[in-house]
Structure 1
Amino acid sequence: MKPAQARILLTGAAGGIGREAAAAFSRAGAAVLLAGRTPARLSALARRLGAEPRVSWAAADLQDPAQIERLADTAAQWGCNVVVHAAGTPAFGALAAHDAQAMSAMMHTNLLAPMLLTRALLEHLRAQPRAQVMCVGSVLGRIGLPGFSLYCAAKFGLRGFAESLRRELAGSGVRVQYLGPRSTRTDFNDAQVQAYNRATGAATDEPGLVAAALLRMLEDERAERFLGFPEKLAVRINGLAPTLLDGSFRRHSASLQSPQPTPERITT
């Protein structure tokens, strides 16, 4: 889809990737409906990007199914034809470090909320000449990494959702896509994750690179794209022979610190 034809609902718009994506879409000529939990941050971002009707915003807590429904209604009335699921919350550490409540909240934000929002908008999207559902996942939706068992579970699920729905909607005007960035330099990754990345030699990208990839996917409508090397190679190997890579992650396991509860942080 050409950006000038796109009316994009962007969740997680005030987060690191969200802000860059909003700016990239807006510069390219798309209309953007910014969604997140904090009205002040959303309104400030909207003012920086431009005036209505090309840029608007709507506050919603994706932990609340009723607010998801209201956001879907707002987006439909606004004329949305693209949904970008960029909201997310991290979860790093050994499994024993996570309490049940935080685990549930994290899975809801990263997996169930995109599913609920897509379902709520699906009838509207199918009525459009062309529409796109873009899921911002991670390379960890294809590669299970020590220290990220919970996060990987959510992103594996999101990728599976995108793949299944893409096939379910084949022949319709709705394209479903999945973008898998590698670690990105934003507040999403706390000091523990940054130390882990240094210890394991993991590369980190700027959020602008992810935003550029999202804009490219809007235009070329590619079903899946993963970012970074050797991550893209590892995705292929892991898909063909998952156990072949098991021994490659001993350094990652050894780099995990003693289990400590990870505070919830939601990108909005």
Structure 2
Amino acid sequence: MLELIDIGVNLTHDSFDHDRGAVVARAAAAGVTRLIVTGTSVTSSVSALSLPEPAPGRLFATAGIHPHHASEFDEHSIKALEPLLDNARVVAVGECGLDFFRDFSPRDMQERAFSAQLDLAGAKGLPVFLHQRDAHEMFIAMLRQARDRLPGGVAHCFTGGPDELRDCLDLDLYVGVTGWVCDERRGGPLRAALPDIPLDRLLLETDAPYLLPRDLKPAPPTRRNEPRFLVRVLERVAAETHRSIEIVAEAATANTERLFGLPLRNSIL
């Protein structure tokens, strides 16, 4: 039986409101036994911590402000995040970073919110859960300035090619791979980079309810992604890197435990 960890699931999303418990149960039945719920605002971070655990040590969270919400960031945001980050179930600051593709918040406000959260992560001794889209150069420059103060971080939902990967690895980041790798239309650069991701830097995630793997067979009745489909991401990563699913699963789980300071598997079984 696989023991996988989904490092990025938006479990507070309203598409899960009617069957959230069943979603978690289906994930566990598929071997995805631990979930890290993504916080994208103060409100969603609080909501993530309010979700009932199916069992101790099975549900964790990040707490932070996504660049889409950076326009909401002010001096009160840090004060609201600080007590959340002291909760033992919160394992990272984020989702934080830069998104110059959507530009839902002005870029200067995105940079200010990102910088403040990098400082907060350093002060709290927590890794960062990172978002970047169409902002690679600024993202890397800001991270490079802060990296010495951070215990670690993950490039969440990495979609870049070999050059972008090299920049992330030069900063000792972990790399989160989602169902983007299964996308025949957009996943080419990621598939080209995948063999260059060191096995000890690889993490697996769904970003559910987004990024449903497009090569699922049979196709599910809706486009809503679920953490149980992390198994398909694992299978595709293993195939693309010519490794067994067992080796990839073991590495990704160990890497996740190490980065986020999670209890080791044997201690929660």
How would you bin the TM-score normalised by the shorter chain? Answer: 0.3 to 0.5
Q: TM-score, normalised by structure 2?
A: 0.39
Which structure has the higher relative contact order (CA within 8 Å, separation 6+)? 1
TM-score, normalised via structure 1 length: 0.39
